[in-house]
Amino acid sequence: MDFSRPRHIEAIVHRVRQFVDAQVIPLETDLLRTGADLSMDQLQDLRAAAKAAGLWAPTMPSEWGGMGLTIQEIVPVFEAAGRSLLGPLAMGCAAPDEGNLHLLHHWANAEQVERYLVPLARGEAFSAFSMTEPPPGAGSDPRMIQTSARHDGDAWLINGHKWLTTNGEIADFFIIMARTDMEAHPYQGCTLFIAPRDAPGINILRDVPVMGAKDFGGHVEIIYDNLRLPDSAILGEAGQGFMLAQARLGPARLTHCMRWTGIAQRALEIAAQYASEREAFGGPLAAHQSVQWMLADSAMELKMGRLLTQEAAWLLAQGEQARVETSIAKLQVSEIVCRVLDRCVQICGGRGISRDLPLSTWYEKARAFRIYDGASEVHRMVVARDVIKRYSAG
Ligand SMILES: Cc1cc2nc3c(=O)[nH]c(=O)nc-3n(C[C@H](O)[C@H](O)[C@H](O)COP(=O)(O)OP(=O)(O)OC[C@H]3O[C@@H](n4cnc5c(N)ncnc54)[C@H](O)[C@@H]3O)c2cc1C
């Protein structure tokens, strides 16, 4: 691997850093101070500023106003955007829209591109990906999917119960996983449908309250009740649901790693600064070896996480599925980020717990990263299966 960074990417990273420092972090500080949630108007102002700075939709082609960057090129760009939780939202590269952009870009037909992808790419729409179901439905084990779609005349009737559908409060359309063939194995018998928000039969029960500050767009619980969709609502082909979900999830897991690495890096910088300025027991905290070790362990782990992310991104760019490498990166980075944030809160003491710094908010928000897009245990299972397959006798 070549570890050097092309000059044009270095320049973009620099501009993203400037944008996040000048436009995003002041708003983050203000929201933290007042305890208010980000409003749609504030987000649209930030998005207008990102577009004006030429920093909109890093992965989308230029004809839709994007930056046309590859999965390898976005690694440092997303990290720079991710230095604030608001950065990716401002630049059109936050989950789940960013994963849905990738999915639609590669699999939507011409009509779906016009109707769904172009408005999403331009920041004129929001989207949701609706796969997880409450027990006894599909969660860690997607084969347990219960949502069904059955042919009824010239349409499909979708019935099911989903939850934790991120962006569900604001999404203009939902990408829904449903079982279309009860006889086939779920991996071959499921299909993705795109449903506009106003389609009759999408009943949003509630925004599920989650740990920490409210996430923009929420995580909703939905009943799909005789949701009637035409054949043209199918993304890809009937039976391709899991193949497409996997194609979406691989890069989406890595982009989570990139963004969260930005948060953890900023946390480390905040903690190092506090440790250098705060005095205790006759000198700065940074003079105490146990504090130095917390900083050193965090810096080393972040470097390892970055390298794992870069390697998996490089493999994806070569056209590999990189299933195991993506699992390793997602598992390691999610756990590293939580450990780094924990140490940074510890170093900053009472100020780390207070809302005067963003650390406590990030600490709460990062916890879910070890669960969504595959819990750590599931990724360990993927890695273990690979090890056993490679090295078992015979
Ligand atoms: C903030 C947030 C946002 C989300 N956004 C979306 C979204 O937009 N769309 C969507 O479809 N879903 C979304 N999800 C759902 C998420 O993907 C699921 O929560 C995740 O896949 C785990 O499923 P589950 O919650 O049903 O956990 P379960 O399947 O009930 O598992 C519970 C726990 O059991 C353990 N476990 C599971 N399998 C194994 C195993 N093989 N070996 C050992 N232990 C195991 C793990 O510790 C796991 O955390 C979101 C979740 C959160 C928290």
DSSP-derived secondary structure for 146-171: --EEEEETTEEEEEEEEEEEETTTT-
Q: Is residue 30 scored above 70 in pLDDT?
A: yes
Distance of CA 140 to CAs 144, 236, 330, 381, Å? 9, 24, 15, 11
Report how far ligand 1's centroid is from the alpha carbon of 386 (Å). Answer: 21
Examine residue 1 and state whether it is found in any structural domain, yes or no.
Answer: no
With the most atoms of ligand 1 within 8 angstroms of its CB, the residue from 100, 103, 132, 249 to mutate is 132
Residue 170 backbone phi and psi in degrees, to 5: -120, -5
Give the pair of three-digit tokens for residue 381. 């299972």
Q: Is residue 393 scored above 80 in pLDDT?
A: no
Same domain, 377 and 277: yes
Judge whether 129 and 173 are in contact, CB under 8 Å.
Answer: no
Q: Please name which of 134, 82, 108, 135 lies closest in space to residue 362, comparing C-alpha atoms.
A: 82
Examine residue 59 and state whether it is found in any structural domain, yes or no.
Answer: yes
Ligand 1 and 210: CB distance under 6 A = yes
Examine residue 260 and state whether it is found in any structural domain, yes or no.
Answer: yes
Report how far ligand 1's centroid is from the alpha carbon of 382 (Å). Answer: 15
Same domain, 221 and 268: no
Last residue of a domain, one of 104, 121, 138: 121
Same domain, 97 and 15: yes
Same domain, 198 and 309: no
User: How far is Cα 10 from Cα 148, in angstroms, rounded to an integer?
Assistant: 47
Report how far ligand 1's centroid is from the alpha carbon of 346 (Å). Answer: 28
Name the closest-CA residue to atom 13, ligand 1.
164
Same domain, 387 and 248: yes
With the most atoms of ligand 1 within 8 angstroms of its CB, the residue from 222, 371, 381 to mutate is 371
- 286-306 pLDDT, tens per residue? 999 999 999 999 999 999 999
Same domain, 62 and 153: no
Ligand 1 and 382: CB distance under 6 A = no
- 211-246 pLDDT, tens per residue? 999 999 999 999 999 999 999 999 999 999 999 999
CATH of residue 223's domain is 2.40.110.10
pLDDT band at 313 (very low <50, low <70, confident <90, very high): very high
- 1-26 pLDDT, tens per residue? 678 889 999 999 999 999 999 999 99
Total count of domains within the chain: 3
Neighbours of 309 (CB within 10 A): 28
196 - beta bridge partners?
173
Ligand 1 and 177: CB distance under 6 A = no
